[in-house]
Chains A and B, each alone.
Chain A
Amino acid sequence: MNAMLSRVADSLYWMSRYLERADHVARQLDVHLTIVTEQAVDAARRRRRRLITCLVDEKEHAAAESSDYELADLLTFDEDNPSSIVNCIAAARENARQVREQINSQMWEQINQMHLTVRSQPMQSLWNGQPHSFYHWINQEVYRFQGITDSRITRDQGWHFIQIGRYLERASETADSLNVDFRELYASGLEIDAIDQQTYLDWVGLLRGCAAYEAYSKVYAANVQPRHIVEFLLLNPNFPYSVHFGINRIQSSLQVVGEETETPKSARVYRLGGRLRAMLDYAQVDEIMESGLGSYLLNIQNQCGQIHQAIYETYIAYSIEDKLKAA
Chain B
Amino acid sequence: MNAVGRVTATDDVRFAAYELDDAYDEMFTPEGVPRPHYSSLFDRLLDLSPAELEMRQQTADLSFLHQGVTFTVYSDARGTERIFPYDLLPRIITAGEWETVERGLIQRITALNLFLHDIYHKGQILADRVVPFDLVYSSKHYRREMCGLDTPHGVYVAVTGTDLIRLTDGRFAVLEDNLRVPSGASYMLANRQVMKRIFPGLFSLYGVRPLEFYGQALQNTLAALSPASPDETTIVLLSPGVYNSAYFEHTFLARQMGIPLVEGRDLAVHDNTVYMRTTAGLRRVDVIYRRIDDDFIDPLIFRKDSMLGVAGLFNAYRAGNVTLANAVGTGVADDKAVYAYVPAIIRYYLGEEPILPNIETYQCADPKERGYVLANLDKLVVKAVGESGGYGMLVGPHSTVEERETFRSLIEANPRNYIAQPTINLSRAPCFLDGRVEARHVDLRPYILYGKRVTILPGGLTRVALRRGSLVVNSSQGGGSKDTWVLNW
CB–CB B279/A7 < 8 A = no
Distance between B364 CB and nearest chain A CB, rounded to angstroms: 43
**By the criterion CB–CB under 8 Å, are A3 and B261 in contact?**
no
- Chain B residues with CB below 8 A from A5, complex form: 260, 262, 266, 276-279
Is A101's CB under 8 angstroms from B255's CB? yes
Q: Does B263 contact A (CB under 8 A)?
A: yes
Of B191-199, B205-213, B280-288, the one touching chain A: B280-288
In the complex, residue of chain B having the shortest beta-carbon distance to the beta carbon of A93: B79
What per-residue 1/0 map shows which CB atoms of A72-99 lie under 8 Å from chain B?
Answer: 0000000000000000000000000110
CB distance from B292 to the nearest CB of A (A): 16
- Judge whether A98 and B266 touch: CB under 8 Å: no
B398: Cβ under 8 A from any A Cβ: no
B-binding segment of A46-54, A205-213, A281-289, A316-324: A316-324
Given contacts A97-B242, A105-B68, contact A4 B270 (CB under 8 A): no
Q: Does B251 touch A at the CB level, under 8 Å?
A: yes
- Whether B261 and A6, one on each chain, are in contact in the complex, defined by CB atoms closer than 8 angstroms, is no
Whether A316 pairs with B282 at a CB distance below 8 angstroms is no
Q: With a CB–CB cut-off of 8 A, which chain B residues contact A318?
A: 277, 281
Chain A residues near B255: list those with CB within 8 A. 101
**Interface assignment of B468: CB less than 8 Å from any CB of chain A:** no
How many residues on A have C-beta within 8 angstroms of the other chain's C-beta atoms?
A: 28
Nearest A residue to B260 via CB reads A5
Q: Classify the secondary structure of A's interface with B.
A: helix
A3 close to B283 (CB less than 8 A): yes
The CA of A98 and the CA of B242, in the complex, are separated in Å by 6
The reply to whether A4 and B278 form a contact with Cβ atoms under 8 Å apart is: yes
Asked whether A9 and B281 contact (CB < 8 A) given A98-B242, A324-B270, the answer is no
Residues of B within 8 A of A (CB): 66, 68, 78-79, 241-242, 251, 254-255, 260-263, 265-266, 268, 270, 275-283
Interface string of A1-13 (1 = CB under 8 A from B): 1111111010000
B242 touches A9 (CB 8 A): no
A7-B263, A7-B265, A100-B242 known; A320 and B66 CB under 8 Å? no
Q: Which 5 A-B pairs have the closest CB atoms?
A: A3-B278, A261-B280, A3-B280, A101-B251, A315-B279
Contacts of B275 in A (CB 8 A): 320
Q: Does A184 sit within 8 A of B, measured CB to CB?
A: no
A51 to B435, CA, bound (A): 61
| A100-B251, A105-B68 given; A320·B279 CB < 8 A | no
Q: Of the candidates B266, B277, B281, which one forms a contact with A327 in the assembled complex, judged by CB atoms under 8 Å apart?
A: B281
CA distance A327 to B241 in the complex (A): 29
Given A100-B242, A105-B68, A324-B280 contact (CB < 8 Å):
no
Residue of A nearest to B269 (CB): A320
A260 within 8 Å of B by Cβ?
Answer: yes
- Whole-angstrom distance between the alpha carbons of A100 and B242 in the complex? 9
Q: Give bound CA distance, A100 to B247, whole Å.
A: 10
A5-B266, A116-B78 known; A101-B279 Cβ under 8 A: no
Find out whether the CB atom of A324 lies under 8 angstroms from the CB atom of B282: yes
> In the bound complex, do residue A101 and residue B254 qualify as a contact, i.e. CB atoms below 8 Å apart?
yes
| A6 close to B277 (CB less than 8 A) | yes
Q: How distant is the Cα of A196 from the Cα of B277 in the complex, in angstroms?
A: 57
- Tell me how far the C-beta of B63 lies from the nearest C-beta in chain A, rounded to whole angstroms: 13
Supposing A7-B263, A116-B78 touch, asked if A327 and B279 sit within 8 A by C-beta, the answer is: no
Beta-carbon contact of A262 and B280 below 8 Å: yes
CB contact under 8 A between A7 and B242, given known A261-B281, A262-B280: no
Docked pose: A157 CA to B278 CA in angstroms: 11
Question: Is the Cβ of A6 less than 8 Å from the Cβ of B242?
Answer: no
Complex: A101 Cα to B257 Cα, angstroms: 14
**In the docked arrangement, what's the CA distance between A315 and B78, Å?**
32
Instruction: List residues of chain A with CB within 8 A of the CB of B268.
Output: 320
Instruction: Check B279 against A3 for contact (C-beta < 8 Å).
Output: yes
Q: Are A101 and B261 in contact (CB under 8 A)?
A: yes
Report the minimal beta-carbon distance from A157 to chain B, rounded to whole angstroms: 6
In contact, A157 and B279 (Cβ under 8 angstroms): yes
Q: Is A257 in contact with chain B by the CB < 8 A criterion?
A: yes
